[in-house]
A and B are shown apart, each in its own frame.
Chain A
Amino acid sequence: MAGPETDAQFHFTGIKKYFNSYILTGRMNCVLATYGGIALMILYFKLRSKKTPAMKATLTWTSSVKFRCLEKLMSTHHAILNLYNKL
């Protein structure tokens, strides 16, 4: 069974000193890192935008100045045509 007396026989250096599957602290840190990783993945998928790149491009285009000018031009053109048809 793992315990402080068995942990003394292991000598790790660098990152392995804190993340390993032999000593108590190392195992605890690995478990916490795994849980942290899962939590981050859940957060990432929850917070990321649900719109696709095509939708984003369309929304960007529809909110742009060029599109608004074109829309105004088209509505003016339709108004003139209707007037012409009435006459």
Chain B
Amino acid sequence: MNENLFASFAAPSMMGLPIVVLIVMFPSILFPTPSRLINNRLISIQQWLIQLTSKQMLAIHNQKGRTWALMLMSLILFIGSTNLLGLLPHSFTPTTQLSMNLGMAIPLWAGTVITGFRYKTKVSLAHFLPQGTPLPLIPMLVVIETISLFIQPMALAVRLTANITAGHLLIHLIGGATLALINISATTAFITFIILILLTILEFAVALIQAYVFTLLVSLYLHDNT
């Protein structure tokens, strides 16, 4: 039981070869490139969703910030689709791997910070000291703000990893409990099954919400630096 619980988080391999790259690339097949002015239903729905999301997300940005539109939309589509595909039984979810999420979070965060320091050095440095800070507190607050800046990519990555991993673990545990309770008490097993259904619905929501939160936070960091 213990070994099976964490087996789904191990990097998959087929005949000794790692296939994690194929799994990461798989969601892109689900988003075909629009080739006509009026496309089929799948592409039309996807285009409508992308337009809705991009309008809402890029509304706060100026000209410079909007150059990141493709990056942000790709990010939310990738994380959302990966998380949703991970809810399929016996599938591997790349976003449960901290290495993958750090690989997304650190370059994006560093890109926003470097953009800010390059084009608005004074404002970026002044951000480390909140306006109106009393004189004795200035050194301490500068240190605290510096630490909070460097914690941002770690928090981004760990938030996504922890949420998706925790959800999958809970589904595993409650599913296992339901199966174990069937022979003991049918009523309890039924109640546990209802809880499992509710949890699965919650995980669907969490999968999309975490994708949105990740992208929104990157967008906010960009907004602060442009």
Contact = CB atoms under 8 A, between A and B. Distances in A.
A32 B125 CA distance: 8
Nearest to B134: A21
B143 interface: yes
Contacts of A30: 129, 138, 142
B126 A27 contact: yes
A26 B129 CA distance: 10
Interface string B84-125: 000000000000000000000000000000000000001101
A22 B125 contact: no
A35 B138 CA distance: 11
Given A22-B132, A27-B131, A34 B122 contact: no
Contacts, number: 40
Contact of B139 (A24, A25, A37): A37
Interface string B35-49: 000000000000000
**Chief secondary structure at chain B's binding surface:** helix
**Chief secondary structure at chain A's binding surface:** helix
A2 interface: yes
Interface in B115-165: 122-123, 125-126, 128-135, 138-139, 142-143
Interface of B: 122-123, 125-126, 128-135, 138-139, 142-143
15 contacts: A2-B126, A2-B131, A21-B129, A21-B134, A21-B135, A22-B131, A25-B122, A27-B128, A28-B125, A28-B126, A30-B142, A31-B126, A34-B139, A35-B142, A37-B139
